[in-house]
């Protein structure tokens, strides 16, 4: 995985990328949580579930089906007002960004994007992001530094571009 920081930054940028709706801080916070939540499956290691199992790390919680169900659940819990479809889409994109970014990392197994229908694991052919350690203590080492550097380049920079573009568009006067 990229680190939780990388996932959260990407999701917050996604909330700013919506062409139709401007989402505020509350949605950004839910999107960030949605982008981190798939990694709750690391508990599978302590439960003795093998990595390659559908319930193992990067299994079911790293699928499109999970992203769809999780986003629907968040809507039910936090939905206020209209634009429900856009909010669902935004949260779905934030949650699904997690496995898609994991598929750009250099280590571990791929993601079971189509679980629970298939347990096949997928990676992108191009994987520029250094894989983040699962254990917290390993993060505060050279390894963690390498991860943050690669995330700054491959997640931070594109996200900053999205933020800047959204900011510029917001300043442009609209006619309607």
Lay out the site mask for Zn ion across 21-60 (x = CB under 5 A, - = otherwise): ------------------x---------------------
Distance CA 120, CA 70 (A): 21
Nearer Cβ to Zn ion (1/93): 1
Give the residue nearest to Zn ion (CB): 1
* Choice from 9, 102, 130, 131 touching Zn ion (CB under 5 A): 102
Q: Is residue 104 involved in binding Zn ion (CB under 5 A)?
A: no
Q: Which ranges constitute the DSSP H helices of 47-129? A: 64-78, 84-102
The residue with tokens 């559908």 is 54
Asked if the peptide bond before residue 53 counts as cis, ω within 30 degrees of 0, the response is no
Distance CA 158, CA 175 (A): 29
Nearer Cβ to Zn ion (86/139): 139
Please give the residue ranges that form the binding site for Zn ion (CB under 5 A): 1, 39, 102
């Amino acid at each position: 995985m990229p680190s939780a920081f990388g996932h959260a930054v990407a999701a917050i940028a996604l909330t700013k990328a919506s062409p139709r709706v401007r989402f505020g801080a509350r949605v950004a916070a839910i999107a960030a949580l949605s982008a981190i939540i798939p990694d709750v499956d690391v508990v599978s290691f302590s439960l003795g579930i093998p990595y390659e199992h559908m319930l193992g790390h990067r299994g079911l919680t790293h699928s499109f089906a999970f992203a769809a169900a999780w986003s629907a659940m968040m809507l039910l819990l936090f939905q206020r007002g209209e634009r429900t479809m856009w909010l669902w889409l935004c949260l779905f994109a934030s949650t699904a960004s997690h496995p898609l970014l994991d598929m750009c990392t250099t280590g571990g197994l791929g993601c079971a994007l189509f679980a629970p229908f298939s347990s096949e694991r997928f990676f992108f052919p191009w994987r520029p992001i250094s894989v983040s350690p699962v254990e917290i203590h390993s993060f505060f080492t050279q390894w963690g530094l390498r991860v943050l550097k690669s995330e700054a380049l491959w997640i931070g920079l594109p996200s900053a571009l999205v933020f800047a573009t959204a900011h510029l568009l917001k300043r442009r006067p609209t006619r309607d």
